Every structure is written in structure tokens, then in C-alpha cells.
Amino acid sequence: MLGCGGAGSGAASPAPPPAPANAGLQSLNHIIVMAQENRSLDNYFGAMHQYWQAHGYTDQSFDGLPQFNNPAGAAPTNPGCDPAFPFDPGANPPQLNQCIFDANSPPVASYQYQTLCVENPSPSWNESHTDWNLSDPVSANATLDGFVHAAGHDARAIVPSFFDVDGKRAIGYYNGDQLNYYYFMASNFATSDRWFSPVMTRTPPNRMYLIAGTSQGHAYPLGATSKLLTAKTIFEELQGAGITWKIYVHPNANGCSTAECLYKQSYVQNFTYGPTILNQYPQNLATTDQFIADAKAGTLPQFALIEPPSAVGLDEHPSDGDPLPGQPPCCSVEAGAKFVSTLINSVMTGPSWKDSAFILTYDEFGGFYDHVATQPTVSPDGIPPSDLLPGDICTVASGPTCDFTYTGYRVPMFIVSPFAKKNFVSHTVADHTAILKLVETRFGLPALTKRDAAQMDMSTEFFDFVNIPWATPPTPPTQVQNGPCYLDHLP
């Protein structure tokens, strides 16, 4: 009897080994990442408290626009262009067209857009640093008072000029009535009010960080004669480890969906590994329609990157130019949100919902106002900016934000997953390279750079693998599509 069980059997059994770190993360088998274009957190989610109050959510800490916080503060302002120096498109010399900031500059307060389409403020290197501190862009003091000036100055330099030559578009915001799908998802799943883009500059360098953890010194897009980046991308690491992956791309405006056409719209083309993908793994370049099909069929890869549908105006990027006579303006944020909702919903209703996470964020802030300063961080590889132009900010005087040791500005993000904490807001500083760390941790890969190695652990910050908060997903609203789209006036 003793040999069949009881005390004798129990005494002989070894103690179970301790659970490995991140054991619950092994439940996550599909990590999907999409970064849309050019929106700050205040621009999109600044009115979050207003949405919670209107829709019955329990209020909690979320650092949105001050006028919506609890307790409410004053709507933030930026100094505008002195009206004594109005824009004159025929001025000679052109310096007379500049947006003049002086003691007579009127304050421009945060306001809600009515139009779903706005002209582009610039998020590039000089403008990002002007946004930081209008009077002293290399100062260690973030006054965050240059957004309106930078947008006005940029609009006046464009030929032909934008309508909004005073930069007022930079300090507007949308609310939960306009972006109802995004507000619902961010409120029900896990989001953050301390998620930053990696670099204080425009799109391409930030997307380099998203897939490789570095721009290898680039503050600007690669030029016609620039060499491709030699940095290892996450795709090369995944391929070497036998982890399945795909890059999903919307076909271009002509509908071309060959691997060559899709590759030309992917930011992986900036890296030396890009041609390897095109030549050796063309099957890993697929359309966004194929993503929906894979989600419905339960055949999603272990890692997926969805590129922004820029070629068809669905990337939520503000308009780069005013339309020609007879052409409609571009590009509605509601239309972009509607497109994204079809991708997320295909995962939520598909067989892979049980072990997937869809992470939506934005590559950088787009030049739109945000009231939280960029944050000190780790240089990925010790390479300083290498392609600044003569006269650029940081080429004459230097300061703490002149190297890749500060993040960019805050951007929206949320995670849709059965494991995502319910109604959760993270207040831990992170940037896009934290996604790389999540992928590396899940699949046992080494860090690509010091930047991603230094990021917080998303698996414990945003996920609950024990209680599975959203085993049954909520039913999100249909993204509204009824707002006006115009560029020739504000709001």
C-alpha cells in the first residue's frame, strides 16, 4: 500500500522547479505592431477624461490636456505670430514672411478641431527643438512654447504656402466623438500617458528605431546617395531564430501588390537587410488584405509589422499640401481610424485572438502640441547626429537634446489583447523600442541596441497572463465617418 502512493510517494517526489521569469509571456504567440503617422498624445487623446465622464468609465490618473484633467486646469497656450507682421506671399526678401515672435505675440489656446483634415505641421529636427524651447532650442529647460511658431514658420516657407500661415493648427485636438473607436479601445484595454517616440525628429529615423533600435546617427531621411543602415533589424533576428514574421503593406494607389511594390512602401528598405528580404523572403511581404485573411484563418505569423497605408491616404498623416482646384482635401483621421479598426477587429473576431496582441501607436508627434517634455534616455550605440545641415539647431550651440539621449514627444498607443489589463493606464516612460524588447523577451532574442535593452518590461506592465481580462473581447463601436474635411479654414 505504501509503495502505491501516500507518504512514500510524496517523500520521493522532488519539489517543482520555480517558474521561469516571464513564464506567462509564453502564452502570447502573435505580436502585431502598427504605427500610424504623426500624432501627439494631446492631439488625439488629450480629451480622455471628458470621454470617460461621458461614457461612465471610472476616472483615474491620465495626463491629458490640462483643461480636461481632474482638477481641471487652464487650456495651454503657445505664443502666436505677431499680427503686426502679416504674411505677404510676394515679400522680398523672403525673411519678411517669417512668423515673428515678440512681446506682442498673442497667446493661441488649445482648441477642438471641427475639420478631420489639417495641414501638416513639421516634426523635423529644427521644428522639434523649436517646440521644446522657442527662445533657446538647445536649453535644458523645456518651455514647450514653440509649436505654433514652428508650424507658422514652416507654412510660410512652403511654396505655395499653406492656408494656416499662423501655425494655429499645431495646438488643436480631437475628442472621443470624432475618434470614437480609438477612445473606446484605449479606455477598455491598456494604454499609456508616458509613451514617447524614440527621437526628436521626423518619420524615417523614428521608424528606424521601431525596427532596429537605432537610426545609426540619422536625424533625417536617407538621401539619394546615402548608404543603407547596417544595423541588425528585428526581422533578421527573428529569421535567424526560426520565428515566423511578415511585413504587411497596403498596395499603392495603382493597386500594385507585387513584392517589389510592397517593398518600396516599407521602411525596411532603409537597411542592408532589406534587399535580403526582397530577394530571399519575398513571401514575407504581404498585403493588408492578406493580414485580414490570415487573422480570419488563424495563420498569423509570430511577429507582424503593418506599415502605414500612406500611398492611399489612410495613415492619418496631416495633409502635406493643399489640393488643386477640383480635388478633395486629404486626409481624414476618421477614414484612417476606420481602416485600422478593420485590422484590429479581424484579430478580435478570429481564431488567434486567444494568444495575440495588437499594439497600435504613432511613429512620431507630427509637430502637434503636447504638454509633456521629451525624456532623457539611453543612446543606442553612441553615434551622434551625423547628417545635420549647416545652420541646423545644434550645429552652432549644443545642449542635452542635441544627441540621441532624449526621446521624441508623447504619442498615442494602446494594446488590444485578451491579456491586456482592463482599463489600464501606464505611467512608466517608454518609447517604441520597448516593443522590440517585448519581442526579444518573448522569443529569447538578444537586445539589438542599448536603447531597447534599457526599456521597461511590457509583459509585466501591460499584461495579465493569469486572469486573462479579455478572454471574451468587448464589442467596439463602428468608427464614425460623418465629420467634415477641409483645409481652408480652422477650426
| Contact predicate 24/355, CB 8 Å | no
Name beta bridge partners: 245.
Answer: 303
Residues 6+ apart with CB under 8 A from 216: 208, 229, 230, 231, 381, 383, 386
**How many angstroms separate the CA atoms of 128 and 145, rounded?**
11
**How many angstroms separate the CA atoms of 87 and 479, rounded?**
38
The residue among 307, 315, 301, 309 whose CA lies nearest residue 356 is 301
pLDDT 10s digits, 196-239:
999 999 999 999 999 999 999 999 999 999 999 999 999 999 99
Identify the pLDDT of residue 88: 86
| Contact predicate 318/44, CB 8 Å | no
Grid coordinates of 455: 526599456
Place of cell 501638416: 120
Element (H, E) at 126: helix 125-132
Grid coordinates of 296: 480570419
Cβ atoms within 10 A of the Cβ of 207, count?
A: 27
Q: What is the distance in angstroms between the CA of the first residue and the CA of the last residue of the chain?
A: 84
**Domain 23-42+176-461: homologous superfamily in CATH:** Alkaline Phosphatase, subunit A (3.40.720.10)
| Contact predicate 477/176, CB 8 Å | no
**How many angstroms separate the CA atoms of 234 and 283, rounded?**
17
Identify the pLDDT of residue 94: 62
| Contact predicate 329/484, CB 8 Å | no
**How many angstroms separate the CA atoms of 387 and 224, rounded?**
13
Q: Kindly give the parts of the chain with pLDDT less than 70.
A: 1-23, 93-96
Grid coordinates of 383: 553615434
pLDDT 10s digits, 374-422:
999 999 999 999 999 999 999 999 999 999 999 999 999 999 999 999 9
Name beta bridge partners: 34.
Answer: 306, 360
